[in-house]
Chain A
Amino acid sequence: MARIVAGVGTSHTPAIGAAVDNGKAGQPYWLPLFEGYEPAKRWIAETKPDVAIVVYNDHVNAFDFKIVPTFALGCADEFPIADEGWGPRPVPVVKGYPELAAHLVQSLVLDEFDMTIVNEMQVDHGLTVPLTLLFGTPQAWPCRVIPLAVNVVQYPAPTGRRCYRLGQAIRKAVEGWDEDLKVVIFGTGGMSHQIQGPRAGLTNPAFDKTFLDGLSQDPQRLVRIPPIEYLREAGAEAIELVMWLIMRGALGEKVEEVYRFYHIPASSTAVGHIILECR
């Protein structure tokens, strides 16, 4: 049986990818951040997942506004790297798992989550920066990846409760796949940040800490946070944190927090990271 064994929450700030790609990771501005991810790199090297389900959002790269899917599951056998305006990131192409993705779609739709099926899609920093943070700069990514793109760009994003329930349905779907697979699910984006308008640069470490605590101890409190609270307290783009609730929902009731890291700044964002193992 396939099993979700752990969840990873992490920011996906594009400047982090650019720092690695341009050889700046050792500079004083960036060093504390990358040092903070070293234990995570060791953890994932030991965990050796076969598949990563990466919950992220596209940033007007795969999807313009012709079609705005709330939940889109990548069912292709590979996903090219998007040119976001300065050339594609020099990272390996992302290999999918179309058989498992097709199974997930079928299970999720019957569980009343109407997924958009995506058979061709480029992936942007939202997906590739978390891979870089956890896996570094390999010649090929060490596991297969199923992208789950969530609309958090055009308001409203799906609610936290809806996201949590989708995670629960993903857990059930994965367990319905008859192959001995270790699956890790990533919830990405956040943490507090605002990257638009005169209020840009907003961060809220107290909000972020409460959110990280809630993930490990009381996710039911987090699913009740209304959208306005993310926007007002943690910045217009902090609504991305609902994607972490998909990850948390997919882990089952009991988890153990095995690592946490928090750092300000990466460009305009507060960077948060948590690893939760299923118990």
Chain B
Amino acid sequence: MGKPKMVLDQTYEDIPGTWIFDAQRARLGYHLNEFLYSLMKSSNRKEFLADERAYLMKFKMTEEQREAVLKRDWNRLLELGGVSYALAKLAFTDGKSYQWMASRMTGMTEQAYVDMMLKGGRSPDGWRSKSERRGKR
């Protein structure tokens, strides 16, 4: 498999706790995101909830992606090329909010997450780079 001859700046890979949805990740996630996009239709939402695996088999996703959907493993879905706005449609299908999904990604309870936001949110200090993150732990 080929590689870019010119090295593209990917310093964003050094941001901890973050999966930047770049062109390569978008490529890996294409069919996963198409599945998520299909959940914009209420008839599709019903069909998915009635038999999740059968519905997922209609899309050319990887088995890893299907498993992550079934487990609602949100961070794994980001890693496998899901984009947060599309993942939100899965959360909405479950009757949950975006805020709830974000709290699951952080490993916090929704209330703890809301409390953090009410106190002004998460400071970037300690979260700018993976090395800075290691120093904070």
Contacts and interface: CB of A to CB of B under 8 A. Distances in A.
Interface of A: 14-15, 29, 59-61, 64-65, 68, 82-87, 153-156, 192, 194-205, 227-228, 231-237, 264-265, 267-268, 270
A13 to B, nearest CB: 9
Nearest to B20: A155
Given A59-B85, A83-B40, A233-B124, A228 B12 contact: yes
B122 A232 contact: no
A46 to B, nearest CB: 33
Contacts of B26: 65, 68, 154
A85 B17 contact: no
B120 interface: yes
Main SS class of interface, B: helix
B124 to A, nearest CB: 5
From DSSP, what is the main secondary structure of chain A's interface residues? loop
Nearest to B127: A199
A197 B11 contact: no
Interface residues of B, number: 53
A29 B118 CA distance: 9
A60 B40 CA distance: 10
Given A264-B121, A268-B102, A85 B19 contact: no
14 contacts: A83-B41, A84-B88, A154-B21, A154-B22, A155-B23, A195-B84, A199-B106, A201-B117, A202-B121, A202-B127, A203-B121, A264-B120, A264-B121, A268-B121
Contacts of B45: 85
Contact of A197 (B36, B105, B123): B105
A222 B71 CA distance: 42
A204 B124 contact: yes
B88 A85 contact: yes
Given A153-B85, A201-B113, A205-B120, A196 B18 contact: yes
B113 to A, nearest CB: 6
Contact of B17 (A84, A154, A198): A198
A236 B15 contact: yes
A86 B16 contact: no
Contacts of B105: 196-198, 200
Contacts of B75: 197-198
B60 to A, nearest CB: 13
B102 A196 contact: yes
Nearest to A236: B18
Nearest to A235: B124
Interface in B82-136: 83-86, 88-89, 92-93, 97-99, 102-103, 105-107, 113, 116-118, 120-124, 127-129
A59 B92 CA distance: 14
A274 B36 CA distance: 34
A194 B18 contact: yes
